Amino acid sequence: MRVIVCKDYNQMSEEAAKIISSQIILKPNSVLGLATGTTPIGTYKRLIEMNKSGYLDFSKVKSFNLDEYYPIKPDNVQSYRYFMNENLFNHVNIDINNTRVPNGMAPDPVKEGADYDAQIEAAGGIDLQLLGIGRNGHIAFNEPDEALISGTHATSLTEDTIEANSRLFNSIDEVPTKALTMGMGSILKSKMIVLLANGKNKHNAFKKLLDEEITTSNPSTFLKVHPNVVLICDEECYNG
């Protein structure tokens, strides 16, 4: 794993946008794996600027998002589909039909998971997967557990994640308790992984990702088995 320590959030976002744009320039029909959350918003802003200035073309790009709450309608402002449209897709020249987010209204979540993995496979696999990290070491919604599920699946969120995500809802009771998520197996099939982490509140999670042996009680440690991972953080996250 390569670690890039940046001065601050803006520089972290700039570095991530540089890597993602290089990927798209080298392979215009890249398949991107995308994340929601607060962390990648700055990166998406930079990618939007690059697109608007004519430097970066998303017209052939395909994307698959890591996760979605379940059940949730795509037009619900709290849905990850809504987040992606608002923070990236509506502002760049990506074909919206080439963007996938797990279907939060899927009648059969098991089938949705299998179909989602099959769609990723059919697209040729993910070239570059962007990740954030939970305070508890979760990756996508793969929460610490005795065992991890490899493929895309439905899962329950931990109390810590519900509490962390409640900042985006009117009250903690509104936070969905379930989600559909790509599994660690699906994520580790990506050709390259870029994980972003910023701020003091991610220091412990970031340190554990670097220091701990591979364990299902810290899903982020599974990134150690992947040959092409770049971790980009800011000084606050790195130094604590």
Summarize as ranges the residues that interact with ligand F6R (CB under 6 A). Answer: 35-39, 66-67, 132-134, 138, 140-141
Residue 35 CB, shortest distance to ligand F6R, in Å, is 4
Using CB positions, name the residue nearest to ligand F6R: 132
Kindly state the smallest distance separating residue 118's Cβ from ligand F6R, in Å: 21
Can you tell me whether residue 195 is helix, strand or coil? strand
**Active-site position among 98, 103, 136, 165:** 136
Euclidean distance between the first and final Cα of the chain, in Å?
A: 20
DSSP summary character for residue 117: H
Active site residue 67: yes
15, 67, 112, 234: the catalytic one is: 67
Output 38 or 59, the one with its CB closest to ligand F6R. 38
**Cβ nearer to ligand F6R, comparing 27 with 78:** 78
Q: Is 136 a catalytic residue?
A: yes
CA dist 95 and 18 (Å) reads 21
Distance CA 131, CA 134 (A): 10
Instruction: Identify the CA nearest to 104 among candidates 65, 133, 52.
Output: 65
CA distance 225 to 240: 26
Nearer to ligand F6R, 141 or 206 (CB): 141
Catalytic residue numbers read 67, 136, 138, 143
